[in-house]
Amino acid sequence: MPPQKPQDLGPLDAVAFLCEIAMVVILVLAGHGFADGWRGWAVGAFLAMVAVGIWAQWMATTSPRRLDLPTRFVVQVMLFVTVALYAAAGGLALVGIAFAVIAIAVFWALAREDA
């Protein structure tokens, strides 16, 4: 079966994808703030992979286990707040807060479009 072209993707979807990428990057950097050297990078990579796994299972558009709204939005908010808390613990408090506020606003707007 050939890959299908995505339908109805707009600028808000692009910003949402950037938020997903930022979540992974912030977790890796936060993990590096927990420990020096390779241990910090390993912690960060572990945190990022856990977040990617959660996202792939319950939030990805192609997942057979994708949660329905509003449950999906609530889980997204919990994940974004958790990322902000890990960022704050890793020494990136302002980055974490900014990420959580922006990501929650973007995914709230997407949830309103889908509803």
For every residue of 38-54, DSSP letters joined together read: HHHHHHHHHHHHHHHHH
Whether cis (ω within 30° of 0) applies to the bond prior to 70 is yes
CA distance to 1, 7, 67, per residue, from 4 (Å)? 9, 9, 22
pLDDT of residue 29: 97
Q: Does the model's pTM come out above 0.75?
A: yes
Q: DSSP letter at 59?
A: T
CB-CB contact of 69 with 107 (8 Å): no
Series of mean pLDDT values for 10-residue runs along the chain (115 residues) = 69 96 98 92 97 96 93 97 97 98 98 86
